[in-house]
A and B are shown apart, each in its own frame.
Chain A
Amino acid sequence: QKEVEQDPGPLSVPEGAIVSLNCTYSNSAFQYFMWYRQYSRKGPELLMYTYSSGNKEDGRFTAQVDKSSKYISLFIRDSQPSDSATYLCASPTDSWGKLQFGAGTQVVVTP
């Protein structure tokens, strides 16, 4: 069983809508959470990270962590066609940088 679970999608939304992405994790020792964005035929790139419960905002992106329910979310406001990509959540399993990734959710924003 994967330690980080994510709905693979695809998730299709119209331009301007709010995109809501979710992951669940099973290991309560996870302290640090990241969202990577992966465009087609490219390597993943770090989008956001958060260390503790609560919200973190960066422009149109908001990352949310609920440690009590082991649930992490990413919200994209005013979505654009350029946001069409696969979004992967991740958490390091220990301090050595060994990351556990979710399977990724494909997002399609239609003009």
Chain B
Amino acid sequence: EAQVTQNPRYLITVTGKKLTVTCSQNMNHEYMSWYRQDPGLGLRQIYYSMNVEVTDKGDVPEGYKVSRKEKRNFPLILESPSPNQTSLYFCASSPTTSNHEQFFGPGTRLTVL
């Protein structure tokens, strides 16, 4: 089944404890992206990747890191999480950078205490 998977789906952590949210797609998509979704603010892009080893900042990159060493994986790293990073996170992928239909993962709900 073609899909975008994220792990973990739910995570409660404490301030300052490094964490990684994994994202994987099995559709051979070139483009991948991370979003956070907050009430009243909608989806905001954190980082995106146009292909392996090519990443760029979205609208809200502060406090996050990403890497794209393989085409299928695009992990989101929070080196020192803070409470304002409590949010619902979505990974998405798209066949190419010019194809605007993005396929979203199921989401990761993160709580930072």
The interface of chain A, by Cβ under 8 A from chain B, is: 2, 6, 8, 32, 34, 41-46, 49, 88, 90, 92, 95-99, 101-104
Can you give 24 A-B contacts (C-beta < 8 A)?
Answer: A6-B42, A8-B40, A43-B104, A43-B106, A43-B107, A44-B43, A44-B90, A44-B104, A46-B101, A88-B43, A90-B43, A96-B56, A96-B97, A97-B31, A97-B33, A97-B98, A97-B99, A97-B100, A99-B100, A99-B102, A101-B42, A102-B42, A103-B42, A104-B42
Residues of B close to A2: CB separation below 8 A: 42
* A57, B38: Cα distance in complex, Å: 31
Residues of the B chain whose Cβ atoms lie less than 8 Å from the Cβ of A49: 100-101
* CB nearest neighbor in B for A6: B42
B side interface size, CB within 8 A: 28
B residues contacting A by CB (< 8 A) are: 4, 31, 33, 35, 40-45, 48, 50, 56, 58, 90, 92, 94, 97-107
By the criterion CB–CB under 8 Å, are A96 and B105 in contact? no
A-B CB pair tally, cutoff 8 Å: 62
